[in-house]
Every structure is written in C-alpha cells, then in structure tokens.
Chain A
Amino acid sequence: DTGVSQDPRHKITKRGQNVTFRCDPISEHNRLYWYRQTLGQGPEFLTYFQNEAQLEKSRLLSDRFSAERPKGSFSTLEIQRTEQGDSAMYLCASSLSGGGRETQYFGPGTRLLVL
C-alpha cells in the first residue's frame, strides 16, 4: 500500500495559463475526492467520484475547473485560465465505500502559485 500520491507537488504558473494535476488513489479505493486548502484554513470540498462517475461538485468549482476519473483509477483536476485567487494547496483523498466506517486518506497535495 503506497498511499495516495499526487503530481506535481508544486506548480508555479502565470495568470491565464492552464494547469493540470494528477492524483493516484490507494489501489482498491473506489471513491476519490478533491479539496482545496488556502493558507490558514481547513480544506474545502471541491468534487467527488465514485468509480468513474462524478457524483457531487461544490459551488467552489467554477466553470474553469474540470475533473475527470476516466477509468475509475487515477484522476486529473484541470484549471483553465488560472487566476491569482486559485493559488492554494489542492488535496486529493481516496476511500473505500463502507457506510459509517468509511475513512478518507489524503495525499501530500499539490501547491499551486499563480503569479
């Protein structure tokens, strides 16, 4: 069990550029989540997949954000036309569905800085 991995760990981009982040969940986990964490705050939910289906999206996920999980394994989060307000840590988590005992395990995050 190698845990949840994310790539890249750090990304610096200029305003207006597109960026894409990847998340590889724990291998047997069927659920995958994306969160965003800004400095001094707790993580905020962005979106959630069960297998390849995107089941919930937060109002935080504007039209410039898109997430996919094409084969129910890894997921990508793309931000188009980045803005300075997108600067944050983007966290991925995975879990195995199991009712009340479900636990989400987090990756190390991708820190994005938009200049």
Chain B
Amino acid sequence: GNSVTQMEGPVTLSEEAFLTINCTYTATGYPSLFWYVQYPGEGLQLLLKATKADDKGSNKGFEATYRKETTSFHLEKGSVQVSDSAVYFCALRSGGATNKLIFGTGTLLAVQP
C-alpha cells in the first residue's frame, strides 16, 4: 500500500544552519507530494507541494524536489530561523478514486538562537 517515511526527530539546529528533512514514499501510480507544517497548538498549514516528477515546490525559503527515481521529496532550507521551529509532515495523495492524504509521522525541528 501507499506510505510515507520521514526521518525521525527531533532535529536540533542553530539559527542560520542548513536544514534537510528526508522523506521517501511508496505509491502506485503518480502521487502528488506535500509538506505541511504544524506550529505548537495549531492545525496543519500547507508549506509546499509538487504534482509531478522533477517539479520543485518552494515557499518561505523552503524547497523540495519530486524525485521519482529515488521516490523522495526531501525538504531543505538554506538558513533556518527560530520561527521555523515546528513539526514538519511529508504527505502524498495517490490520486485516482481516493483523494485522501497519507502522512508520515512528522519531524520535530527545534532551532536555537
């Protein structure tokens, strides 16, 4: 079945450090891929998405490239800020008859000043 695997956290970085959060997926067909962010006490916010292979999603300095050959969608940011501290979820939507999102377990990012 379809699934998403994320690197386990927590990830602790100093401000201005480079961030990578790994995400790989298993899916039939051609899924759309998403990164959502959840700040403490809040719901999920869409961070970025990619709908086909080689697409790059980007927002607020974050980027992720849809790599079909490695079934990956790793999240990167060149210089993190304290305000980026949150839980990050990778998700896929497999399309076809179902539109549900399948999420990874989330990765907690803590950025220290």
Contact = CB atoms under 8 A, between A and B. Distances in A.
Interface of A: 4, 6, 31, 33, 35, 40-45, 48, 56, 58, 91, 93, 95, 97, 100-109
Interface string B14-52: 000000000000000000101010000011111001011
A54 to B, nearest CB: 13
Given A40-B105, A42-B106, A108 B42 contact: yes
Nearest to B44: A106
Interface in B70-97: 89, 91, 93, 95
A42 B105 contact: yes
Interface of B: 4, 32, 34, 36, 42-46, 49, 51-52, 89, 91, 93, 95, 98-106
A44 B46 contact: no
B36 A102 contact: no
Contacts of B102: 45
B101 A100 contact: no
B100 A48 contact: yes
A100 B52 contact: yes
Nearest to B89: A42
Contacts of A44: 103
A34 to B, nearest CB: 10
Contact of B43 (A33, A95, A108): A108
26 contacts: A4-B43, A31-B99, A33-B99, A33-B101, A35-B101, A40-B105, A42-B4, A42-B91, A45-B101, A45-B102, A48-B98, A56-B98, A56-B100, A91-B44, A93-B44, A93-B101, A100-B52, A100-B95, A104-B46, A104-B101, A105-B46, A106-B36, A106-B43, A106-B45, A107-B43, A108-B43
B51 A95 contact: no
